[in-house]
Structure 1
C-alpha cells in the first residue's frame, strides 16, 4: 500500500473526514461539510475519551480513509470488553485498493490490544456492498438493529 500510515485523527483532519462521510447517498443527506462546527465539538468529546479511537489513513500527506473504534467494557459475556467499528469511509479514489481491509485489520488488531473479546460493527441496511465486504473479512450478520432518533 505504499507509504500508507494509519494514525490518530487531529482537528486539522476534520475537513477531509467530513468530506468522506458526505461522499455517498446516505451521507449526502445527513452530513454538512460546509459547517464544521458540530464536527469540531464532537471531535473534542472524542479526543477527551480514552475509549474512542478516531483514526485516519494517510498517503502522500493526504487523508484517504477513516474509521472510529469505540472500546466498551461490559458485564455481559462474563465481563467481556467489546469494540464497535463505526464511520468507515474510504476516499472515492482509493475504493477497491485494499485500504478498507487494512483499516478493518487495524481496528481488529487494536481491539485485541485493548483485550476485547468481541468486535462489532453496524452498517446501514442499504449498504449491500459493505455487507459483502465485512462478510469477506469474517464478520457475521447476527443481530437486528433498532434506532430511536432523539430531538
Structure 2
C-alpha cells in the first residue's frame, strides 16, 4: 500500500521512526518506547477497550529510505509479523509504502496464547481484514501529520 506525501523522505522517516508518535496515524498502535540501545522497542496497541504490548526489533533504520521492524509478540520470543515503511523520493515529496508480512513462526506464538473460540485461520483472516483497512488509514493520517509540518 503506497501514498504520495508532500514532505521529504527524511521528514517522513523521522515521523515513522518515532514510535512514541505511532498513535497519531495508526488505528491500532497507540505508541511505544525504545529500549536504551534503540534496537528494540515495546509497542503499545489498543482495539476498543482491549490493550496489549508487543516486543519489536528494529531490522532496518535507514533515515530517508526505510524503517522496518519485527513484531515478536508480547513475550518477545517469536518472529511473528514484519512491518515496514519504505520511502522513495518522488516529485519533490515522498512515496511511502507500508508493508506487513505474517511469518511462519506466528503459528508457534498463537499456539502459546489463549484465544478461546478462535482458530489460527480465523485470527489470520481477522489480521488481514484489519491490515486492509488499517494501512490506508495509517498512510492517510501520516500524510496529514507530515504535510502539516
TM-score by length of 1: 0.35
More helix by percentage: 1
Higher strand share: 2
Structure of higher RCO (CA pairs closer than 8 Å, 6+ residues apart) = 2
TM-score under structure 2 normalisation?
Answer: 0.35
